[in-house]
Amino acid sequence: MATRLNMLLLNLQLISTCSVFVLPSAHSVHFQIPSFAPNDNRILYQGDAIPSNGVVEFNDITKNYRVGWASYADHVPLWNSKPGKLSDFTTRFSLRINIPNSTTYGHGFCFFLAPVGSLIPPNSAAGLLGLFNTTNGVSALGQVVFVEFDTYENQWDPSGVGNHVGINNNSLTSSNYTSWNASVHKGDTADVLISYAATTKDLRVSWSYRETNNPGENSSLSYQIDLMKALPERVMVGFSGSIGFGGAREQHILQSWEFNSTLEQESNNSTSRKTKIVIGVLIPVVVLIAVAIMAYMIFQRRKRKTETAANNLTSINDDLERGAGPRRFSYSELVTATNNFSEDRKLGEGGFGAVYRGYLPDLDLVIAVKRISKGSKQGKREYVTEVKTISQLRHRNLVQLIGWCHERSELLLIYEFLPNGSLDSHLFGKRAPLSWAVRGKSEMGLVEWVWGLYGKEELLSAVDKKLNKDVVEKEVEHLMIVGLWCAHPDSGLRPSIRQVIQVLNFEAPKPNLPMKMPVPTYLAPTPSTTSISFRIPSFDSHDKSILYQGDAKPVNGVVEFNDISKNYRVGWATYADYVPLWNSKTGQLSDFTTRFSLSINIRNVSAGYGHGFSFFLAPAGSTMPPNSAGAFLGLFNTTSAVSAPGQVVSVEFDTYEDSWDPKGIGSHVGIDINSLTSANYTAWNASIHNGDTADVLISYNATTKNLRASWSYQNTNDSKEIPSLSYQLDLMEALPEWVTVGFSGSIGLATEQHVLRSWEFNSTLDLEAETKSSTTARKSKIVLGILVPVVVLLTAIIIPYIIFQRRKRAAALNLSSMNDDIEIEAAVAPRGKSEMGLVGWVWDLYGKEELLSAVDEKLNKIVVEKEVEHLMIVGLWCAHPDSDLRPSIKQVIQVLNFEAPKPNLPTKMPVPTYLAATPSTTSISFQIPRFASHDDSILYQGDAKPVNGVIEFNDISKRYRVGWATYANYIPLWNPKTGQLSDFTTRFSFSINIQNVSDDYGHGFSFFLAPVGSLIPPNSGGPLLGLFNTTNGVSALGQVVLVEFDTYRDSLDPRGIGSHVGIDINSLTSVNYTSWNASFHNSDTADVLISYNATTKNLRASWSYQNTNDPQEVSSLSYQIDLMEALPEWVMVGFSGSIGVATEQHILRSWDFSSTLDLEPPETKSRSTATARKTKIVIGTLVPVGVLLTTAILAYIIFWRRKRNTAAESNLMNDDLELGAGPRRFSYGELVSATNNFSQDRKLGEGGFGAVYKGYLPDLDLMIAVKRISKGSKQGKKEYVTEVKTIGQLRHRNLVQLIGWCHERSELLLIYEFMPNGSLDSHLFGKRTPLSWAVSEMGLVEWVWDLYGKEELLSAVDKKLNKEVVEKEVEHLMMVGLWCAHPDSDLRPSIRQVIQVLNFEAPKPNLPTKMPVPTYLAPTPSTTSSEPLLTNSSLDVGR
């Protein structure tokens, strides 16, 4: 026995010693394959490609539309992200293309580099070269670079070139190409060399033929490309061969291949194991042995007592570990969940290891288990880091880490299972690329595609077809045009929020966008002029160069500015593009000249008239201010001499004398500088010129700074009248760099019509060419500007879906335990103690018509009741349990703005009965009489789509097409625990419309059951029925059972039968079948019943036709099969329609399905049973003989040392995980030290639960708040555990963060982050001063504004910055902050104005010295006019 032990120890020492040394490896890739053997696992084959006689044959030329791939099995590192190093590579291969018919052949052969794990896309044969499945120039693989030998000219190929060799970057259109005569070289072997130089970024290809070289033919090609930008860090390399239809077929043969790359990557050094066991204990005397045994027994007794005393704490730790973020799982749990990591549960495999699908019955949760392979570079350190990092992340768009396991030398991570994969798996991974319905069939991105449709006036064709045109076309059109406006490549031409809302509410016209998406050539301008010049002799309603606001509109070639049937109206007409006025870099100021023809038609000269017409220059993007009619000329909404747009220069033709106008002058022409009071003016008799046309010239000389206006009338010139005016003004000081130019017409009580008849404008500003650095900076801004709207658009689509799925899953959980939660009851009790929580309580008040009683009494009724009522009803509407009945953003805004009535909600909160399934059964039942485009219960793949209430499966304008329609949820077929198998029954109505009965037709329609998550296999069209991609009788899906309605007889079909109905078990050959006359039933509807009896194992199909039943035709079929052996536990069910050369349309009209599988609820285990299953070590053997005692003790010491070392290693890992995985456990001693032994001077407050103390943790350099629960508190251990479990999982910047917990020495302690100013709830519900309706009287904004008025703004800067700031920048930043927080939202700046001020391109805003009081909510009648006071229906001043 001792000899065996010594040998064992020696082996362990040798193993541990050897395992310390792991040599770093380098990963340049090199292989040479002179001949391809069938058993060579270095090459992976897809599609038709097979090794044959030492070469690779890529296509089965007996068939049409075929693809084959041959790729290297290992990944190739292309570049290294850390040092930014890019690899050189060289590849040589010998290729032969055999063309059977030199007159018609096609389509081509490619060498490609693509993302790791790429698969052949479906429908990618012929001209799509096996790499694309659309012709829009975007690869289905996401990113691909390839060299093509193209033997057929398609519409995207170089025109007139014919066959060619090309280098392509993620597109079917070659970036560079040369002509190549495929027919001359047919059958000859080409030796090809492709190389890439990382230094010069040059990709080069050259080729030569062994027998048919042509000296006159170009045989090389190159293209400069940065592969770090074009491809991911690791790629797969290989070849694709594609053929098309009929005579356009050819055989592609690869004869040899070698590859070399130069990128070296060092692998991580394995950390040496500190697990060296040294045993050298010898016990010479039996007495000493007895003493050792006695000492051990005493130790065990003491240990047992300690464990008993710590029992309660252990249970609490277990609870906390389960609740506070990710938890530890046992290896046996995961073995059970994944069926011992069986192959059928494997979701995927990579360099790190494999991922398996599993199910945890105690949590009723489907999981994904990442099993790190022992040969992976991801070691224990990376494993711990991954847990620590990901466990701290909480976001609805991130896959959630549920737990971990590190037992039996395994490293396992448990994530939530995503049945449809994540977005990145579709964009960059192995899953099928996003389809047209998601990608939008974009040629140059979503925005470019939509813009192209806008230019073609086909914008509505971009609307999702699933909506069945159930939209208001005008609303959709406005919404999409506004989206394009917001995504304009030039950020200066994008709208403000106000403009967006006005257009969406039809308060302003649609923007005038160019027909094509602008190319941002302004990024690299030549030193040419950007002067603006336009001439508009007549105004057409279709002319998009003019934007109209308010009443202004084009009528019969002129612009009418006001609706004179009403009082106090304004209209604006402005040039659609912004005008550059000066250049901040060069200091150059623009000259400009504008001419326009104007008439003012006064309706009643004797009754008075007013108010005026203006030409103005204002900040780019300005909009008409509210309350700006009458004397305010549409430019001001106060009389404080400050314009509402912020800065404005205008020339006014004023027809009414107001208090700020020149005294005794009457109507006048004036030049106004950001004020209603003219800087210079002259008298002007408006009544004399009534109805006559004035020709006006306004010019500005940048050298003399002179602004001049002159005018003359066509019929009523007055020699006594001065018809000109000028004023010296530096426009660089008065206006921003870019401006809007246009006209404003305003009327009051008395009305007049302002008519603009023509307009021309010229400016002369030259902008110098930008430097390289500034060009790069502007490129970055433009790229960000384009990305942000697109990301927002995608987020707006993805986030609601994720929220819906999470809420649906969460609502299905049993909520009864939450009713016992003391903290939730305590929070809800003041609000009505409703069991349904806050929403249920408010909804109950709504039903009792007591909604306003929910308003916080501390507000002292300082609220507008109507506003609060609308707000709370909208809140209930948004919280409706049925998400389909919740409002859109537009509906919310309309109700809150009183533009739409309040929603009519039920008086009681609806109970989500759709979640409350019967407790035991998981049977599936659904009935779909009609297929709607917005019905999410059906998933479509390939060509299948809903059309007018039915599903059409194939695009019959093309050949070899497949379509799938499957039920969105998975179907439980049998129960592995009980061995129970489900009965099921399905009924459906379908028809097959054969295009030409006289010709061959085919190929067929099938109902199938297949493994969960199956996708359409590539190359599965025609007789493969969309379910197979080989003819060897094995399905590409792994396991499939189907009932086929086959309209074409193939070699695997029953001989002499023709079209037939068959039952197929994972094979194209039917296990049972009957003849069926497809042509006789052409276009007639068949009602089909398919049923399965789990007792008799009988699968039966029967069918009847509505019009063409044939009594002599057999119309039923059955087969005995055990589906537990044929199919997995969970399946997907659906239909597949497939066509070949001859076409037919398969149409599904209705479908219902029901199954009967009852799954027993998870077994409840009693505490005693659970305890009995734990491992118990019982040692009580007394050894009478010394030799036996020695042997037992040695064996125990060996076992104990191993266990201790393993446990120590595991505990170290657990400590790391616990430190990183959310809140952590603190010792009592740490908290005593942090709080100065919970001294009174550290106490922050006290309540019924206990006290809160301020503390400091020096090792974390962190201020904390320690909640010390008093022993007399009602909050016991259960509530303490619940609080940690609940709050520990929350991560949000607006929530106080739980840092940790402690439960030692009979104390219950919770550690939170310290908030020096208190939390928001202490102001709303606690002892602190309540926040008023206007938030506070002297809050942060008011305090800063007060400092601004005292000219002490910089005193608000944080002193911790030690004045290490640029005072000018800080001052501008803080003033912009005040500007953005202006109580009157109409006076807040646009994004463009903010950026200009922060970039010092515009002056600081002129703010009042005191924060304005929002008296505009309840205005008193103004007396600033000589006119009588007006009623509430009019304005305060003027007419």
**pLDDT tens, position by position, 381-435:** 777 777 777 776 666 667 888 898 988 888 899 998 887 776 666 655 556 655 5
pLDDT at 638: 62
Q: Distance between CA atoms of 514 and 1079, rounded to whole angstroms?
A: 53
In this prediction, residue 492 has a pLDDT band, given cuts at 50, 70 and 90, of: confident
pLDDT at 1324: 55
Q: What are phi and psi of 96, to 5 degrees?
A: -135, 135
- Report whether pLDDT(955) > 90: no
Q: Are 569 and 550 in contact (CB under 8 A)?
A: yes
Q: Distance between CA atoms of 731 and 648, rounded to whole angstroms?
A: 10
Q: Distance between CA atoms of 607 and 178, rounded to whole angstroms?
A: 82
- Measured from the Cβ of residue 1048, the count of other Cβ atoms closer than 10 Å reads 22
Matching residue, tokens 């070949």 = 1140
- Report whether pLDDT(1212) > 80: no
Query: How far is CA 234 from each of CA 120, 147, 1320, rounded to the nearest angstrom?
Result: 18, 19, 49
| Mean pLDDT for all residues in the chain | 77
Which of 100-104, 105-109, 501-505, 570-574 holds the top average pLDDT? 570-574
The mean pLDDT value for 475-490 works out to 86
Which residue did the predictor score with more confidence, 687 or 651?
651
- Measured from the Cβ of residue 159, the count of other Cβ atoms closer than 10 Å reads 8
Closest CA to 455 of 437, 443, 468, 470: 443
Residues for the chain: how many in total? Answer: 1439
Matching residue, tokens 């790429």 = 118
The mean pLDDT value for 472-485 works out to 86
Angle at 1273 between CA 1267 and CA 1279, to 5 degrees: 70
The mean pLDDT value for 1019-1034 works out to 75
Q: Distance between CA atoms of 1097 and 180, rounded to whole angstroms?
A: 61
Cβ-Cβ contacts under 8 Å for 26 (sequence gap 6 or more): 264, 265, 266
Question: 790-811 pLDDT, tens per residue?
Answer: 444 444 444 444 444 555 444 4
Q: Distance between CA atoms of 985 and 1155, rounded to whole angstroms?
A: 6
- Measured from the Cβ of residue 1035, the count of other Cβ atoms closer than 10 Å reads 26
Q: Are 982 and 1152 in contact (CB under 8 A)?
A: no
Q: What are phi and psi of 470, to 5 degrees?
A: -85, 60
Q: Quote the distance between the C-alpha of residue 1311 and its chain's center.
A: 35
pLDDT at 4: 42
Q: Distance between CA atoms of 276 and 258, rounded to whole angstroms?
A: 46
The mean pLDDT value for 446-471 works out to 80
- Report whether pLDDT(290) > 60: yes
- Report whether pLDDT(1170) > 70: no
- Token pair belonging to 735: 């206006």
How many percent of the chain have pLDDT more than 90? 26
The mean pLDDT value for 874-899 works out to 79
In this prediction, residue 33 has a pLDDT band, given cuts at 50, 70 and 90, of: very high
Angle at 585 between CA 583 and CA 587, to 5 degrees: 55
> Alpha helices, DSSP H only, in 1132-1276?
1167-1173, 1186-1220, 1228-1234
User: Is the four-CA dihedral 193, 198, 200, 203 of positive or negative sign?
Assistant: positive
Which stretch of 773-787, 884-898, 1361-1375 has the lowest confidence by average pLDDT?
Answer: 773-787
Which of 443-447, 758-762, 832-836 holds the top average pLDDT? 758-762
- Token pair belonging to 404: 């971990």
In this prediction, residue 569 has a pLDDT band, given cuts at 50, 70 and 90, of: confident
Q: Are 761 and 594 in contact (CB under 8 A)?
A: yes
- Token pair belonging to 1043: 């009932």
pLDDT at 307: 59
Which stretch of 361-375, 847-861, 1020-1034, 1328-1342 has the lowest confidence by average pLDDT?
Answer: 1328-1342
Matching residue, tokens 């990145």 = 424
In this prediction, residue 958 has a pLDDT band, given cuts at 50, 70 and 90, of: confident
Q: Distance between CA atoms of 784 and 776, rounded to whole angstroms?
A: 12
Task: Outline where DSSP puts E strands in 729-870.
Answer: 738-747, 752-763
Q: Say which DSSP state 124 is in.
A: -
Question: 511-537 pLDDT, tens per residue?
Answer: 888 888 876 543 333 334 457 889 999
Q: Are 1265 and 1252 in contact (CB under 8 A)?
A: yes
pLDDT at 1044: 94
Q: Are strands 961-967 and 1224-1225 parallel, antiparallel or unpaired?
A: unpaired
Q: Distance between CA atoms of 767 and 778, rounded to whole angstroms?
A: 15
- Measured from the Cβ of residue 622, the count of other Cβ atoms closer than 10 Å reads 27
Closest CA to 380 of 403, 399, 356, 404: 404
- Report whether pLDDT(714) > 80: yes
How many percent of the chain have pLDDT more than 70? 73
Query: Is position 186 annotated in a ligand binding site?
Result: no
Query: Exposure pattern of 573-583 as b/e (b: 16+ CB <10 Å)?
Result: bbbbbbbbbbb
Q: Are 495 and 511 in contact (CB under 8 A)?
A: yes
- Report whether pLDDT(1275) > 90: no
- pTM of this prediction exceeds 0.75: no
- Report whether pLDDT(1079) > 50: yes
Question: 1043-1059 pLDDT, tens per residue?
Answer: 999 888 787 788 878 78
Which residue did the predictor score with more confidence, 209 or 911?
209
Q: Distance between CA atoms of 1224 and 1303, rounded to whole angstroms?
A: 12
pLDDT at 776: 44
pLDDT at 999: 58
pLDDT at 451: 86
Q: Distance between CA atoms of 1016 and 447, rounded to whole angstroms?
A: 29
Q: Are 209 and 189 in contact (CB under 8 A)?
A: yes
Q: Are strands 1098-1105 and 1116-1120 parallel, antiparallel or unpaired?
A: antiparallel
pLDDT at 10: 38
Q: Say which DSSP state 115 is in.
A: E
pLDDT at 138: 58
Query: How far is CA 12 from each of CA 1, 275, 1196, rounded to the nearest angstrom?
Result: 17, 9, 17
Which residue did the predictor score with more confidence, 1108 or 743?
743
The mean pLDDT value for 1372-1389 works out to 86
Which residue did the predictor score with more confidence, 1116 or 491?
1116
Question: 137-187 pLDDT, tens per residue?
Answer: 556 567 899 999 998 888 888 888 888 999 999 888 899 999 888 878 888
In this prediction, residue 267 has a pLDDT band, given cuts at 50, 70 and 90, of: very low
- Measured from the Cβ of residue 996, the count of other Cβ atoms closer than 10 Å reads 10
User: Is the four-CA dihedral 786, 787, 789, 794 of positive or negative sign?
Assistant: positive
- Report whether pLDDT(193) > 80: yes
Which of 850-859, 1329-1338, 1399-1408 holds the top average pLDDT? 1399-1408
The mean pLDDT value for 1216-1230 works out to 71
In this prediction, residue 597 has a pLDDT band, given cuts at 50, 70 and 90, of: very high
